[in-house]
C-alpha cells in the first residue's frame, strides 16, 4: 500500500512538473525577449543622446551663420551708402566740370572776338598801328600794358581751364573706379549673403530633421519601456503561476497521499473488525490489553513502544497529520495538544509566535497570499505571523532561509523556522517553510494551516534545516 501511495505521489508531482516546465520555458523565452528589448532601449537612448549632441551642434552653426549673415548685410548696407556718396561726389564733380566748360566757352568767345577784331584791323599790324596811334609816351605805355594784361589774362584763363579739365577728369576717373570697386565688393557680399542664407536654410532643415528623429526616438523609447514593463508583468505572472502550480502539485500530492494512507488504515481496521468476531472473549481481552498501548514518537521521530501516556491518544498519517477516529485529520484536537506541549517546552518570544500562529489553524491556503485569515501560502503565512511581532521577513521561503541564522537540529526552539527542500521542482534549495512548535512538530500553511509532525517519512526525507531571526 505504501508503494502505491509513493507511486501516486510521484505521478502527481510529475504531472505538476510538466505544467511547471511549460511555464518555465515560457518564462525563459520572455526573459530572452526582455533582454533584447532592454538592449533596444539602451541603443535608443544612446541614439537620442547622439541626436541631442548633433542638434546642439546644428543650433550652434545656426547662431554662427546668423551672425555672419548680419555682418554681411551690414557690410552691404555700408557699401551701398559709400556708393551713394561716391555718386554724389561724381555728380558734384560733373557740375564743376560743367562750370569749367561754360567758363571755357565764354573765354573762347571773348578771345574769338578779339582775334576777329585784330584780323579785321590787319592782324599783327593792328597792334602795331594801335601803338603808333598813341598820343604820347604815357598813352603808348598804357596801351602796351593793357595789351600785355590781355595776353596774360588769356594765357592764365587757358591754363586754368586746362587744369580744371584735367582735375575734373582725374576725379571723375577716380570716382568711377571707386564706384566700380564698391559695386564689385557689393556683389561679393551679396554672393556671401546668398551662400550664408543657403547654409542657414540647410542647417535649419537639418536641425528640424534632427528634432523629428529625437521625437521618434523618444516614442520608440517609450514603446520599449512599456514593452519591458509588460514583459516584466508577464514574467511575474508566470512566476507566480509556476509557484502556484508547484504548490498545488505539492498540496495535491500530500492530499492524495494522506487520503491513500487513510484509506489503507480504514481497510486495515475493516479487516481487523471482520476477524474480531472469531476471537474468544479471552482473546478479545488480550487484544484489548494489547491495543491500549498506543504508538508514540520520540523527539527524533523513533517509535516508542509500551507507552500509555494520555498524550498518545493521537494517531498520525504518513505526513505527521493527526488522524481522529474516522481517519480524518483533526486539527482542533491536535491544536490543543500541540499548543499545550509548546507552552510547556518553550517561553518568551518563540512561545508567543507559536501561540499566535495556532489561532489560524484551519485557515485556507492561497498561493501568493499573505492574509492570516483570508488565505496565504507557506512563506506568506510565516511572514505575516512574524510581522505581528515587528519582525520583517523576506517574501519567499528561500529568501527567508538565506537571510536568517542557521540553527542545529539539537538547538531548535519553538518559534524557529524549519525549512524543507525538493517538495516541488522550484530550482531553489528551499521550497517549503513552517514554524517549529517543539516536540518534533511544526505549524505550517499546507492545505490548510495545520500542525504536522516533522518526523514523518515524507518531511524527514525533505528536511533542510532550521533557522532563526
State pLDDT tens for residues 232-262: 998 888 888 888 888 888 888 888 888 888 8
**Residue 192 or residue 413, greater confidence:** 413
Contact 370, 380 (CB under 8 A): yes
- The answer to whether residue 79 scores a pLDDT higher than 70 is yes
* 17/19 Cα distance (integer angstroms): 5
Cα angle: 426, vertex 432, 433; to 5 degrees: 150
The pLDDT assigned to 90 comes to 80
Contacts of 404 (CB under 8 A, 6+ apart): 417, 467, 468, 469
2-116+157-246 sits in which CATH class?
mainly alpha
Contacts of 414 (CB under 8 A, 6+ apart): 342, 345, 346, 350, 351, 353, 354, 436, 437, 438
The pLDDT assigned to 321 comes to 44
* 313/295 Cα distance (integer angstroms): 9
Q: What number is the average pLDDT over the span 161-179?
A: 81
- The answer to whether residue 63 scores a pLDDT higher than 90 is yes
Rg of the chain's alpha carbons, rounded to an integer?
61
Q: What number is the average pLDDT over the span 383-410?
A: 93
- The answer to whether residue 65 scores a pLDDT higher than 80 is yes
- The answer to whether residue 398 scores a pLDDT higher than 80 is yes
Residues 75-102: b if buried by 16+ CB within 10 A, e if exposed = bbeebeebbeebeebbeebeeebeebee
Three-class secondary structure of residue 449 per DSSP: strand
* 407/423 Cα distance (integer angstroms): 21
Domain spans, the chain: 2-116+157-246, 314-469
- The answer to whether residue 122 scores a pLDDT higher than 60 is no
- The answer to whether residue 271 scores a pLDDT higher than 80 is no
pLDDT per residue as tens digits for the range 332-385: 443 443 444 333 333 458 999 999 999 999 999 998 899 999 999 999 999 999
- The answer to whether residue 268 scores a pLDDT higher than 90 is no
Cβ burial, residue 182 (10 Å; 0-12/13-18/19+): buried
As beta bridge partners, residue 449 has 445
The pLDDT assigned to 452 comes to 94
Domain 314-469 is classified in which CATH homologous superfamily?
Answer: endopeptidase domain like (from Nostoc punctiforme) (3.90.1720.10)
What the block records as the C-alpha cell of 60 is 550652434
The pLDDT assigned to 416 comes to 97
Q: What number is the average pLDDT over the span 174-178?
A: 84
**pLDDT interval class at 281 (50, 70, 90):** very low
The pLDDT assigned to 2 comes to 47
- The answer to whether residue 326 scores a pLDDT higher than 50 is no
Q: How far is CA 397 from the centre of its chain?
A: 31
Residue 144 half-sphere exposure toward CB, CA atoms < 13 A: 10
DSSP at 136: S
Specify the pairing of strand 405-407 against strand 375-376: unpaired
For residue 242, the surrounding DSSP H or E stretch is helix 137-276
Q: What number is the average pLDDT over the span 430-435?
A: 95
- The answer to whether residue 325 scores a pLDDT higher than 60 is no
- The answer to whether residue 274 scores a pLDDT higher than 70 is no
Greatest pairwise CA separation for the chain in angstroms:
212
Most confident of 7-11, 239-243, 433-437: 433-437
Please spell the DSSP secondary structure of 341-386, one letter per residue. HHHHH--HHHHHHHHHHHTTTTPPB-TT-EETTTEE-HHHHHHHHH
> How is the chain split among helix, strand and coil, in percent rounded to 5?
70, 10, 20
The pLDDT assigned to 273 comes to 54
Mean model confidence pLDDT for the chain: 77
The pLDDT assigned to 7 comes to 52
Out of 53-67, 110-124, 175-189, 280-294, least confident range = 280-294
Specify the pairing of strand 405-407 against strand 463-468: antiparallel
* 313/337 Cα distance (integer angstroms): 10
- The answer to whether residue 87 scores a pLDDT higher than 70 is yes
| C-alpha dihedral sign at 418, 421, 426, 430 | positive
The pLDDT assigned to 175 comes to 81
The pLDDT assigned to 245 comes to 84
Out of 31-45, 47-61, 274-288, 450-464, least confident range = 274-288
pLDDT per residue as tens digits for the range 282-315: 433 333 333 333 444 444 344 443 333 333 344 4
Contacts of 319 (CB under 8 A, 6+ apart): 254, 257, 258, 261, 452, 453, 456, 458, 459
Amino acid at each position: 500500500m505504501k508503494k502505491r501511495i509513493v507511486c501516486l505521489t510521484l505521478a502527481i508531482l510529475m504531472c505538476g512538473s510538466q505544467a511547471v516546465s511549460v511555464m518555465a520555458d515560457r518564462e525563459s523565452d520572455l526573459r530572452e525577449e526582455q533582454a533584447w528589448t532592454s538592449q533596444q532601449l539602451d541603443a535608443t537612448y544612446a541614439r537620442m543622446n547622439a541626436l541631442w549632441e548633433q542638434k546642439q551642434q546644428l543650433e550652434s552653426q545656426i547662431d554662427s551663420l546668423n551672425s555672419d549673415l548680419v555682418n554681411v548685410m551690414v557690410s552691404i548696407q555700408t557699401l551701398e551708402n559709400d556708393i551713394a556718396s561716391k555718386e554724389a561726389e561724381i555728380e558734384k564733380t560733373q557740375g564743376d566740370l560743367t562750370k569749367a566748360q561754360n567758363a571755357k566757352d565764354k573765354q573762347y568767345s571773348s578771345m574769338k572776338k578779339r582775334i576777329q577784331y585784330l584780323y579785321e584791323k590787319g592782324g599783327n599790324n593792328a597792334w602795331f598801328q594801335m601803338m603808333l596811334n598813341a598820343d604820347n609816351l604815357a598813352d603808348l605805355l598804357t596801351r602796351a600794358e593793357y595789351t600785355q594784361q590781355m595776353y596774360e589774362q588769356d594765357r592764365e584763363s587757358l591754363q586754368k581751364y586746362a587744369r580744371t579739365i584735367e582735375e575734373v577728369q582725374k576725379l571723375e576717373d577716380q570716382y568711377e573706379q571707386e564706384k566700380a570697386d564698391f559695386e564689385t565688393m557689393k556683389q561679393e557680399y551679396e554672393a556671401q549673403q546668398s551662400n550664408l542664407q543657403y547654409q542657414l536654410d540647410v542647417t535649419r532643415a537639418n536641425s528640424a530633421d534632427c528634432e523629428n528623429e529625437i521625437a521618434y526616438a523618444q516614442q520608440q523609447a517609450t514603446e520599449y519601456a512599456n514593452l519591458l514593463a509588460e514583459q516584466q508583468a508577464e514574467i511575474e505572472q508566470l512566476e507566480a503561476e509556476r509557484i502556484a502550480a508547484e504548490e498545488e502539485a505539492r498540496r495535491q500530492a500530500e492530499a492524495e497521499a494522506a487520503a491513500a494512507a487513510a484509506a489503507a488504515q480504514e481497510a486495515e481496521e475493516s479487516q481487523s473488525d471482520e476477524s474480531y468476531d472469531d476471537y474468544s472473549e479471552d482473546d478479545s481481552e488480550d487484544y484489548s490489553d494489547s491495543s491500549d498501548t498506543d504508538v508514540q514518537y520520540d523527539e527524533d521521530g523513533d517509535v516508542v513502544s509500551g507507552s500509555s501516556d494520555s498524550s498518545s491518544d493521537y494517531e498520525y498519517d504518513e505526513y505527521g497529520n493527526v488522524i481522529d477516529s474516522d481517519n480524518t485529520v483533526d486539527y482542533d484536537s491536535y491544536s490543543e495538544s500541540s499548543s499545550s506541549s509548546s507552552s510547556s517546552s518553550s517561553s518568551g518570544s518563540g512561545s508567543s509566535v507559536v501561540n499566535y500562529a495556532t489561532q489560524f489553524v484551519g485557515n485556507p491556503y492561497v498561493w501568493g497570499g499573505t492574509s492570516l485569515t483570508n488565505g496565504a501560502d507557506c512563506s506568506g503565512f510565516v511572514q505575516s505571523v512574524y510581522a505581528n511581532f515587528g519582525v520583517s521577513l523576506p517574501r519567499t521561503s528561500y529568501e527567508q532561509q538565506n537571510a536568517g541564522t542557521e540553527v542545529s537540529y539539537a538547538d531548535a526552539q519553538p518559534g524557529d523556522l524549519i525549512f524543507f527542500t525538493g517538495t516541488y521542482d522550484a530550482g531553489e534549495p528551499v521550497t517549503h517553510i513552517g514554524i517549529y512548535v517543539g516536540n518534533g512538530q511544526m505549524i505550517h500553511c499546507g492545505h490548510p494551516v495545520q500542525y504536522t509532525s516533522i518526523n514523518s517519512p515524507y518531511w524527514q526525507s525533505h528536511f533542510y534545516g532550521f533557522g532563526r531571526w
